[in-house]
A = this chain, B = another copy of it.
Amino acid sequence: MFGAHTPEILMADLQQPESPRSASAEQGPAAVFLTHAEAKALRAQAEADSLIGRSIRAERAQVDAWMRTPVSVPGSGPGGGVEHEQHKRNYLMIFAAGRQYLIWQQPGYAKRIADVLSVYAERYTALPFAKPYSHNPPGRLFHQILNEHMWLLFAAAGYSCVRQELPEALRQRIDEGVFAPMVGMFTQTYRHHFDIIHNHGMWACAAVGVAGIACERRDWLELAVRGQFGDSETAGFLAQLANLFSPSGYYEEGPYYQRFAIQPMLLFAEAIERAWPELGIYRHHDEVVRRGFYAAFLPSFPNGALVPLNDAIKPMNIKSLGFVLGASFMYRRHEADARLLWLANLHGQVWPDAAGLALSDAIAKASPDALHCELPSVELLCGPKGDKGAVGILRAEGRHHEQAVLTFDAGSHGLAEHAHFDALTLGYFARGHEVLRDYGCVRWINIEPKGGGAYLPENVSWAKQTIAHNTVSVDGGCQHRADAELAVANPSHRLAFHGSGDAQWMRGETVGAYPGVAMRRTVALLRHADFEHPLLVDLFAIEADADHTYDYALYYDGQVVRTDFDYTPARNLSPLGTDAGYQHLWRVAAADLPAGRGLFSWLQKSCYHSLCFATSGPSEFIFTRIGANDPKFNLRAEPGLLLRQNGRDVVFASVLETHGDFDESREFSQGARGRLLALEIEDGGKRLRLHGSDADWLVELSDSVSIHRV
């Protein structure tokens, strides 16, 4: 059924299409994203020393560079390969060149778009299907149609800027040669995949809808909006919006995919608002577009990286395209929220359209203070109705106004494809770095020799497994037996959330992630004058109907500084287990802790962290390192630790103190020991007693959470 992988480079000079009909586009219908009046206003600002001026000129420079290269329309290739990157560059540049054409009124841009699309039109249907890499259907240009959706959305939008001026025959050739067959492939050939509730469905709908506006095919637009069943509820763009976002705006697949999904969401919403204003898309479903956008940057660290819940490329951050689009669109379509000015200033650009122009003007007039924003602590409810648990983000300032961020996932499993079995997982960011770390996904994105950049087998065997996360695994297994259906049907519960003041905390519960086991975790971020940085407190209490082995895992980065217990380094390293992710962990060293207590300190770049921990019974402390059973070196060899406790009802308690400073280039260190020496669990975990060398502190952890010196 699928054709062989046959990349071929077609040069435009083999085939010259007719020139565009007219050099001026002052008249004629509007393009998908820009009216002639708007283009004129942008032209007036295009040479200004402002965000909008710089944004327009930066885009123009990219387009001009593309125009100096020969037209190239290859066959398909793997992710990150030459062909993949060429098609990607083509669609992004067609999109940009259309806008630049309307702004500058230079016919060269229109001609280039027509030239490139002519080649696509001539060859598209003759290209064989690409080699598929996953269960995603392949396109003719890309190995998965997701990328072909993106091609369609961006190329159609660019095309709309010049289409009216092309000779009828050429226009028809392009419409029929590439746009119509592509839409046909998406909506007919792959109908089963077309508008499923998923980020791929979001892209598919947006692409077909924008192509409908561009090619004046109202039927495509309506199909995209209302879905293949026409009910606006089970499929299509409106259904996506209703089902993928919670009332808090949290997106089922997690922040990394939210970042990705808001691109088609915003682009299609804006296109609909222009072509079909009666639909009132920005007010639809209680302003879900707005909610989905604002919730997308709340789960981010102070360095801009998105919190890596579920499958995530970890450096991905709030500078990516969706946030640039959203800052401008939201500013124009909703209100002048201060966070939009902060975002655009962070980006150093605005979207080069009428919305970006308005935002740029506002920033030029804003005071420096208005461009600053400290994100708040927030609880993001999960599930379309907000009744499937919650993800919490607690933020507190440490010394020098450095923000510490605790993240806690007591929410829903998410959509199966990208979800991890990590209920009650904990994350922590402090002093500029992720301290308690989530692995993210196993994927070397767009690195063609690494499986074409696709998700790798270790994504399932490691990254999705419970043991890969900062939570508790039971009897060496994965939550919900790694069965996504079970997990989806059994979200966590949020029991409490307090996101303000010096004692911020959250509590969540998971019952039945392991049969007969109930887990309740209370996490807190406590500020106290005795500590230079907030303390992270973690109380993990488990009740079960039988005895089990419980593994409390944490992943960190850096170098071990000290422990207050003796341990035995392994002479040879063996994997910690045979399955459920344990097969990927080397057992590096271990210690028996009959009293169930210890202190573990490490150095991470410029500071130290000390974990004081206690278990309700005797426990074992295991030093781990990722990398066993990794025959292709797909995994990063990062260290971790594991506290193992046997019993029926157990408690794991820990307090993480961040302290000191280290600058190796200056040979400077101070505060390499923290104030805390030991921790005791009192009253079954309702209280923790912290021992320091010169003081003790009590942490109350029952109906409310607090810390005080005793």
Contact = CB atoms under 8 A, between A and B. Distances in A.
Interface of A: 80, 82, 85, 305, 313-317, 319-320, 444-450, 453, 559-562, 569, 571-575, 586, 588-589, 601, 603, 623, 625, 627, 629-633, 636-637, 639, 662, 664-670, 672-673
A559 B673 CA distance: 33
B561 A445 contact: no
A596 B554 CA distance: 43
Given A315-B664, A561-B450, A669 B445 contact: yes
A326 to B, nearest CB: 17
Nearest to A635: B559
Contacts of A588: 627
B80 A315 contact: no
A559 B633 contact: yes
A636 B636 CA distance: 14
Contact of A447 (B313, B633, B662, B665): B662
Given A444-B559, A561-B449, A637-B637, A314 B664 contact: yes
A623 B632 CA distance: 12
B316 A665 contact: yes
A179 B601 CA distance: 40
Given A562-B449, A669-B445, A669-B448, A664 B313 contact: yes
Contacts of A562: 449-450
Given A446-B667, A448-B669, 18 more contacts: A80-B670, A313-B664, A313-B667, A314-B664, A320-B666, A444-B603, A445-B667, A445-B669, A447-B603, A447-B669, A449-B562, A450-B562, A559-B633, A569-B631, A571-B575, A572-B573, A573-B573, A623-B633
A630 B573 contact: no
A672 B601 contact: no
Contact of A669 (B453, B623, B633, B664): B453
A662 B603 CA distance: 28
B316 A449 contact: no
B569 A672 contact: no
Contact of A445 (B80, B559, B627, B664): B664
A637 B636 CA distance: 12
A569 B571 CA distance: 18
Nearest to A664: B315
A6 B575 CA distance: 46
Contacts of A572: 572-575
Nearest to A448: B672
15 contacts: A80-B670, A313-B664, A313-B665, A319-B665, A320-B665, A445-B669, A446-B669, A447-B662, A448-B669, A448-B672, A449-B672, A450-B562, A450-B672, A569-B630, A588-B627
Contacts of A672: 80, 447-450
A562 B639 CA distance: 23
A575 B667 CA distance: 32
A620 to B, nearest CB: 18
Contact of A317 (B448, B561, B665): B665
A611 to B, nearest CB: 14
Nearest to A560: B633
Contacts of A603: 444, 447
A510 to B, nearest CB: 31
B601 A449 contact: yes
A623 B637 CA distance: 13
A665 B315 contact: yes
Contacts of A573: 572-573, 586
A646 B707 CA distance: 65
A118 to B, nearest CB: 26
A316 B663 CA distance: 10
Nearest to A260: B667
Contact of A673 (B446, B449, B601, B637): B449
A362 to B, nearest CB: 27
Contacts of A639: 637
Contacts of A319: 665
Contacts of A666: 320
Of all A-B residue pairs in the complex, the 7 with the closest CB atoms, nearest first, are A560-B633, A573-B573, A315-B665, A446-B669, A80-B669, A449-B562, A315-B664
Nearest to A561: B449
A555 to B, nearest CB: 14
A668 B446 contact: yes
Nearest to A313: B664
A636 B444 CA distance: 24
A315 B637 CA distance: 22
A633 B305 CA distance: 30
A561 B664 CA distance: 30
Contacts of A667: 313, 316, 445-446
A317 B666 CA distance: 9
A447 B559 CA distance: 12
A675 to B, nearest CB: 13
B673 A636 contact: no
A661 to B, nearest CB: 11
A641 B630 CA distance: 17
A636 B559 CA distance: 7
Nearest to A623: B633
A315 B625 CA distance: 25
A314 B630 CA distance: 30
Given A449-B561, A637-B625, A639-B637, A670 B85 contact: yes
A90 to B, nearest CB: 15
Nearest to A569: B631
